[in-house]
Structure 1
Amino acid sequence: MFKLKENQTNARTEVMAGITTFFTMVYIVVVNPVILADAGVPFEQVFTATILATVIGTLWMALFANYPIAIAPGMGLNAFFAYSVVGGGQNISYHTAFAAVFVAGLIFVILSLTPLREKLIDAIPDNLKHGITAGIGLFVAFIGLRLTKVIVADPVNLVKLGDLHAPSALLTIVGLAITLILMMLRLNGAIFFGMIITGLIAFFTGQLSFDKGFLSFPSLPEGLIIANPITALGDVVQYSLYAVVFSFILVTIFDTTGTMIGVANQAKLMKNGKLPRARHALLSDSIATAIGAMFGTSPTTAYIESTSGVAAGGRTGLTTLTVAGLFILSAFFGPLVSAVSGISAITAPALIIVGSLMMGSISNIRWHDLDEAFPAFLTILAMPLTSSISTGIALGFITYPLLKLVRRKWSEVHPLVYVFAVLFFIQLAFLQH
């Protein structure tokens, strides 16, 4: 079913890769409820909804697309939901905001059933694809360094080196060294075993504790938040949430598309610049977005943390099937998951190493052609500096056709690139993002 031999892998490697991906992204079941709680959504509701959306999207990816790319509610999209849509002065409740997410999800499903999204992947210029991959790598590494305070905010230069004697930073450095040594020794599952050893160090040094126990039962205090599609559509019309729906669609399309390209490139799953079974892969996040909104969570996206599983050897849907199974189990281990995911230093070494691996795509960019190189460079630069994959992609999409027009090479640009360049310009200039 998963064509393990064809993809030059085996069941043990895939399961280990799935476990690795799970531990690098499981923080979302804690962080997402915390962020959406600021919009008034009950913590327990979002916790369970987050797991439901993740399991549905990831299972679809595993069983129909056969890719090691996990799906879950997106960071950034949850903040946009909580602080711009609900808390942005529009005087709407989170129930109404979820209606906008649901409608966006339905439109997203329709778009995914058409050739548009699949053609978009083919239309993205190769140098932008390499830039997207490298930019995500830099962004991933930056997240790992920032979460563990190896890098901290600076009022003068925005960022600076943190206190390396701080427990979190020190544990990250030790974990990074251990994981790199295991990788140099070519140990299968080196990233996962690195996290296990780092976790043990955290436990014995008192940084990791399990004060709240290990088990709890999941619940949905409000049941289905969106039960009637017609009512949801009526809410969007009544509150004129068209710009919100458009923003959700545009950002999610490119967040997911860019991440899928980055992960697929790293796993060498792209064939002649194209992603096989792209339609099924792209349906996974759109279906999960619509269903997730019904239960009470923000839009889903492909997760950049999937790169850690790919680095551990994951190549097929068996990796993501493992991820989905572990998320189902995590629903009953809320306190345990919360404790482990609350120690960023356990997973940060994996993010930093994966970031370095993804940066290798830079070597494929045609740096001697400025009209090809600069959009890729801007994409790479913008992702970590704006903390947004989609913003980096947007700037790349806008500058690429402009430079081609100046060079009188407009015929080299796919028409879809022009269309989305205009849409991205409108979104960045006039809409919330």
Structure 2
Amino acid sequence: MFRLQENQTSIKTEVLAGITTFFTMVYIVVVNPVILSDAGVPFNQVFTATIIASVVGTLWMALFANYPIAIAPGMGLNAYFTYSVVGAHQGISYQTAFAAVFVAGLIFVILSLTPLREKLIEAIPENLKYGITAGIGLFIAFISLRLTKIIVADPSNLVKLGNLHEKSVVLTIVGLAITLILMSFRVNGALFFGMIVTGIIAFFTGQIHFKEGFVALPSLPEGLMIANPFTALTDVVHYSLYAVVFSFILVTIFDTTGTMVGVANQAGLMKGDKLPRARHALLSDSIATAVGAMFGTSPTTAFIESTSGVAAGGRTGLTSLTVAALFILSAFFGPLVSAVSGISAITAPALIIVGSLMMGSIAKIRWNELDEAFPAFLTILSMPLTSSISTGIALGFISYPLLKTARGKWREVHLLVWVFAVLFFIQLAFLQG
């Protein structure tokens, strides 16, 4: 089924690769509920939904695409859901926001069944892609610094350095140092093991308590978030969430596909410039996004941490199948994860480091070309300063064609970019608030 001999691998190698991938990305079952709980979603709901979405997407990738790529709710997309959709729109509850995620997932499924998704990816300027990735990374890191009080509000200058003697600040700095040291020694699962060590320190310093034990059956306190697809569509229309749906689609579309291509290329699975079984692979995150929204989590994406499994020898879907099995097992450790998530200093180091890794895309921006560099810069700068990922994307897409036109390069702008620019301009000018 997995064509192990054809891919020059073995069951042992694939299983070990799956274990490696799982430990490098399992932090998401802690971090995702932490971020979405800021939107008011019950912790246990998000914890279980995160695992369901991860299992569905990763199993699809394993059984139908036969790739060693894991799927889970994406970093950045969860922050956008919490702070830019629910947090920035009065009257929009997290239940309504999940309707937008569900509709985006349905559109993803349709796009993944056609060549249109690949054409959309080609239409988005490379430098804007890099800018969006870097901006989200900066935004995630900023949120983490704020939640742990390393950065605090300042009436005269908006933000300033917090009290470095506070327990949460000290624990965050220690956890960050430990995790960075583990990463420096190339320890697989450094982010996860860094959280474990930080959690142990928090326990012995009296900052964390395990009142409900460690193990329990998984639960969904609020049941299905989306029980009726037609109600979800109605909510999107009623609250005019078109820009929200569009932003979910835009961010996820190139994030997932770029990751898939990168991981497949590292594993030597590309055939020239094409990804075999691309349609099945692209369906994995779109189906998982729709399913995840039904249970209560933000959009899913292919995880770049899958490269750690590839480095360990993973070449087939058996690696992904192992990851899915381990996610199922992790569902029974909800009380442990819940206790850990209550201390932001335990999860913050992982978020800060993820943010720094996402910032690496800045190096690929063509800074010597103003019409390419400034829209990317505007995108990066505005995301943390406006606390809105969608605003950063909007400003980037509006400024890009305008600068190109001013420099006489309007022919270089794809028609779809003009469409995006007009839609985002309408959103900022008439649909804000």
TM-score tier (shorter)? 0.7 to 0.9
- For residues 24 and 221 of structure 1, the distance between their equivalents in structure 2, rounded to whole angstroms, comes to 20
Answer yes or no: is the 8 Å Cα contact 2:20–2:308 preserved in 1: no
Give per-residue Cα distances to partners, 1:52-93, cap 9 Å, x unaligned.
3343234435553643452368333256665677x618xxx9
Match of 1:253 in 2: 249
- For residues 391 and 61 of structure 1, the distance between their equivalents in structure 2, rounded to whole angstroms, comes to 32
1:71 has 2:73 as partner: yes
Taking structure 1 as reference, are residues 285 and 209 closer, same or farther at Cα in structure 2, changes over 3 Å only? same
- For residues 68 and 352 of structure 1, the distance between their equivalents in structure 2, rounded to whole angstroms, comes to 22
Give per-residue Cα distances to partners, 1:221-254, cap 9 Å, x unaligned.
6655644545655x45xx952722x233202112
Give per-residue Cα distances to partners, 1:23-60, cap 9 Å, x unaligned.
245232355356345xxxx7765654454334323443
Q: Specify the SS of the correspondent of 1:70.
A: strand
Q: Please provide the CA RMSD for this pair.
A: 3.9
Taking structure 1 as reference, are residues 22 and 47 closer, same or farther at Cα in structure 2, changes over 3 Å only? closer
Taking structure 1 as reference, are residues 44 and 18 closer, same or farther at Cα in structure 2, changes over 3 Å only? closer
Answer yes or no: is the 8 Å Cα contact 2:100–2:245 preserved in 1: no
Q: Specify the SS of the correspondent of 1:243.
A: coil
Give per-residue Cα distances to partners, 1:9-30, cap 9 Å, x unaligned.
9754552342232224523235
Deviation at 1:386, TM superposition (A): 3.0
Work out the percentage of aligned pairs sharing the same amino acid. 64
Taking structure 1 as reference, are residues 34 and 398 closer, same or farther at Cα in structure 2, changes over 3 Å only? closer
Taking structure 1 as reference, are residues 379 and 10 closer, same or farther at Cα in structure 2, changes over 3 Å only? farther
Match of 1:18 in 2: 22
Taking structure 1 as reference, are residues 398 and 335 closer, same or farther at Cα in structure 2, changes over 3 Å only? same
Match of 1:241 in 2: 238
Give per-residue Cα distances to partners, 1:354-392, cap 9 Å, x unaligned.
433333332222212111110111122122223343332
1:406 has 2:406 as partner: yes
Deviation at 1:342, TM superposition (A): 2.3
Give per-residue Cα distances to partners, 1:260-300, cap 9 Å, x unaligned.
367569869598998846654543443234334444x2542
Answer yes or no: is the 8 Å Cα contact 2:49–2:297 preserved in 1: no
Q: Specify the SS of the correspondent of 2:79.
A: coil
Deviation at 1:423, TM superposition (A): 1.6
Deviation at 1:212, TM superposition (A): 1.7
Amino acid at match of 2:183: M
Q: Specify the SS of the correspondent of 1:26.
A: helix
Taking structure 1 as reference, are residues 365 and 96 closer, same or farther at Cα in structure 2, changes over 3 Å only? closer
Match of 1:180 in 2: 180
* 1:206-285 alignment, distance < 5 Å: 206-220=206-220, 223-224=223-224, 226-230=226-230, 235-236=234-235, 240-241=237-238, 243-244=240-241, 246-257=242-253, 259-260=255-256, 269=265, 276=275, 279-285=279-285
Amino acid at match of 1:28: N
Answer yes or no: is the 8 Å Cα contact 1:309–1:319 preserved in 2: no
Match of 1:146 in 2: 146
Deviating more after overlay: 138-147 vs 10-19: 10-19
- For residues 27 and 81 of structure 1, the distance between their equivalents in structure 2, rounded to whole angstroms, comes to 18
Match of 1:122 in 2: 122
- For residues 27 and 294 of structure 1, the distance between their equivalents in structure 2, rounded to whole angstroms, comes to 20
Match of 1:430 in 2: 430
Deviation at 1:326, TM superposition (A): 4.5
Answer yes or no: is the 8 Å Cα contact 1:33–1:47 preserved in 2: no
- For residues 387 and 280 of structure 1, the distance between their equivalents in structure 2, rounded to whole angstroms, comes to 35
Match of 2:301 in 1: 302
Taking structure 1 as reference, are residues 323 and 375 closer, same or farther at Cα in structure 2, changes over 3 Å only? farther
Q: Specify the SS of the correspondent of 1:332.
A: helix
Deviating more after overlay: 388-397 vs 66-75: 66-75
Deviating more after overlay: 147-156 vs 178-187: 178-187
Q: Specify the SS of the correspondent of 1:338.
A: helix
Deviating more after overlay: 312-321 vs 420-429: 312-321
Taking structure 1 as reference, are residues 327 and 75 closer, same or farther at Cα in structure 2, changes over 3 Å only? farther
Match of 2:334 in 1: 334
Match of 1:347 in 2: 347
- For residues 222 and 173 of structure 1, the distance between their equivalents in structure 2, rounded to whole angstroms, comes to 36
Runs of 5+ consecutive residues of structure 2 not aligned to the other structure: none
Amino acid at match of 2:205: T
TM-score by length of 2: 0.79
Taking structure 1 as reference, are residues 31 and 368 closer, same or farther at Cα in structure 2, changes over 3 Å only? closer
Taking structure 1 as reference, are residues 75 and 146 closer, same or farther at Cα in structure 2, changes over 3 Å only? same
Count of residues paired in the alignment: 416
Answer yes or no: is the 8 Å Cα contact 1:105–1:290 preserved in 2: yes
Q: Specify the SS of the correspondent of 2:26.
A: helix
Taking structure 1 as reference, are residues 381 and 47 closer, same or farther at Cα in structure 2, changes over 3 Å only? same
Deviation at 1:340, TM superposition (A): 1.6
Q: Specify the SS of the correspondent of 2:240.
A: helix
Give per-residue Cα distances to partners, 1:303-352, cap 9 Å, x unaligned.
8xx45675796887777656544443343322111112222322332333
Runs of 5+ consecutive residues of structure 1 not aligned to the other structure: none
TM-score by length of 1: 0.79
Answer yes or no: is the 8 Å Cα contact 1:255–1:389 preserved in 2: no
Amino acid at match of 1:71: P
Amino acid at match of 1:302: T
